[in-house]
Amino acid sequence: MYDDVAAAAGSGVNVPEGEGGERRLLATLQRLLAIEATSATDALAQVVDHIAAALGVEKVDAFLYDPARDALVALGVSDTPLGQRERAIGLDVLPLEGGDRTVETFRRGGST
């Protein structure tokens, strides 16, 4: 159902520098590799939660393209207050005709 991964990684995220930052990134990678989900949705939900925690950000989304809807659909939305709000108001589905920043990033095939 979902053909292409939307390249929707946020810009301006600072990767931690130094030994402490490297340890945190390594620990996050180990958590990601240990995910044992039975579906893509379950896996993506865990991935975005780990990434949000590692980066200390309010929200992380993993959008996939759904050709049936011609839209980007957030199958992974971090379990944070902002992520929950996003789903509640329907911002987890972005029609390609809308042309917001995430959609434009997907169309370009690059990062924001």
Chain segment 34-76, per-residue pLDDT in tens: 998 788 888 988 898 888 888 888 888 889 999 999 999 998 8
Count structural domains, the chain: 1
Within a domain: 88: yes
Within a domain: 97: yes
Within a domain: 2: no
Least confident of 6-15, 23-32, 48-57: 6-15
**What tokens were used for 9?**
């990684």
Sheet holding 61-66, edge to edge: 61-66, 71-77, 93-95
Partner residues linked to 72 by β-bridges: 65, 94
Q: How far apart are CA 71 and CA 68, in angstroms?
A: 8
Within a domain: 13: no
Structural domain containing residue 36: 18-108
For 110, residues 6+ apart whose C-beta sits below 8 A from its C-beta are 7
CA angle (106, 108, 112) in 5-degree steps: 70
Tell me the pLDDT tens digit for each residue of 68-100.
999 999 988 888 888 889 889 988 999 999 778
